Amino acid sequence: MPLRGAGRVAVCTLVSLACLAVTGAAEDTCALTSAGPGDEGAGSAPPSCGCGALKRKAKEKSLQSPLEKTVTMLEEIMQGEDAALAAAGSEELAAGAPNVYPRTNDMVSLEGGEFTMGTDEPVFVADGEGPARRVRVRQFHLDVHEVSNAEFELFCNKTNYRTEAESFGDSFVFDPLVSEETRKTLTQAVAAAPWWVPVKGADWRHPEGPDSDLEGRMDHPVVHVSWNDAVAYCKWAGKRLPTEAEWEYACRSGLEGRFYPWGNKLNPHGEHWMNIWQGNFPAEDTGEDGYKATAPVTAFKPNSFGLKNMVGNVWEWTEDWWAIKHSPSLQEDPVGPETGTDKVKKGGSYMCHKSYCFRYRCAARSQNTPDSAAGNLGFRCASDVLPSVVKNNVARKDEL
């Protein structure tokens, strides 16, 4: 996708404004941060799409802490042990009402076992990709697909849930996707990655700003959801986020030491097997894989575990706090550090290109604060056991 001329001018202007805004814009809700490990512009640090640098200023809102907010919200919406069943919309389905939500998310049962997590040949050392270490995970279930807009809409409609991007009033959007009208309202960019702009009114229903919508994209992955939003959705669905170890085990799908879920070839048989960036980042995405931004969660081949878009399309939140030091010894169901400032995300996104963000690999990782949201960050859910609504409704087990 060509970066429009006017947009490029605007971005350059925004970079200058950004420096002023860092110290002076107390009311701005999106922080302008220096690049984190592995982010473009950080001296000798490896390049990236810059989305790891997208953070909110914690002091800006007198909201409850993100975790407190999530817990409070869940206490309000989780009413009884049948909440997930009711929330799944099964009453309407049972009554023969037309299902306006084209749900996609079946779950697969992964038997678990021992695998090699991380790599001894890290592409980005600063990201903590190494060392390669043996890890065991127990049997668990994982969504086949990233959570779609349709599924997230059902959740919000059932619970009146308000995402953090909606509460803060803005979110980070990739500049070339912003309309000329919305661009006129921009006042800043992300210093470390000027192609990211905080857009007022951008949220999951309006991925590119207030003049955008989800028409034709209900089967695309929901974006502009924070880690806290993702946790809230998973709990509502009777699920949870996967740990980083579970996510990577699922991504590797039985292969040891490979870049991708299927091996080391970027384009097996000359085909595109994931949604990433083709062309020169960030100037032009030629869309040779069929998609210049998000793709339907059902697109592309599944890996050998039956999971789709583990790499590419949108980054996926995991449960773990971020750390770059890992024990080299055998780990049993590791859950990451007890606390931290950022959460781990995995898999890369449609914005990833080898020249900037070669993170569409199973071992690759990045991070964001739990209240951050962006147009290339989504999630999928895991569970220890199949949620009752799935288990008890085999014919409709793809409803969650």
Q: Which is nearer to Ca ion, 195 or 291 (CB)?
A: 291
Q: Are 138 and 164 in contact (CB under 8 A)?
A: no
Q: How far is the CB of 347 from Ca ion (least distance, A)?
A: 4
Q: How far is the CB of 285 from Ca ion (least distance, A)?
A: 6
Q: How far is the CB of 197 from Ca ion (least distance, A)?
A: 20
Q: How far is the CB of 386 from Ca ion (least distance, A)?
A: 22
Among 249, 237, 225, 244, CA closest to 343: 244
What Cα–Cα distance (Å) separates residue 89 from each residue in 99, 107, 221? 9, 17, 20
- Which residues contribute to the site for Ca ion (CB under 5 A)? 275, 289, 291, 309, 313, 347, 350
Q: Which is nearer to Ca ion, 196 or 291 (CB)?
A: 291
The CA R_g of the chain, rounded to the nearest whole Å, is 20
HEC string for 363-393: CCCEEECCCCCECCEECCCEECCCCHHHHCC
Angle at 175 between CA 173 and CA 260, to 5 degrees: 70
Q: Which is nearer to Ca ion, 105 or 309 (CB)?
A: 309
Q: Which is nearer to Ca ion, 185 or 286 (CB)?
A: 286
Q: How far is the CB of 345 from Ca ion (least distance, A)?
A: 9
Q: Which is nearer to Ca ion, 163 or 275 (CB)?
A: 275
Q: How far is the CB of 360 from Ca ion (least distance, A)?
A: 9
Q: Which is nearer to Ca ion, 70 or 318 (CB)?
A: 318
Angle at 373 between CA 371 and CA 379, to 5 degrees: 100
Q: Are 247 and 333 in contact (CB under 8 A)?
A: no
Q: Which is nearer to Ca ion, 143 or 289 (CB)?
A: 289
Looking up tokens 């990655």, which residue turns up? Answer: 193
What's the rounded Cα separation, in Å, for the pair 223 and 213? 12
String of b and e for 135-169 (b: at least 16 CB within 10 Å)?
bbbeebbbbbbbbbbbbbbbbbeebebebbbbebb
What's the rounded Cα separation, in Å, for the pair 392 and 359? 38
Q: How far is the CB of 234 from Ca ion (least distance, A)?
A: 16
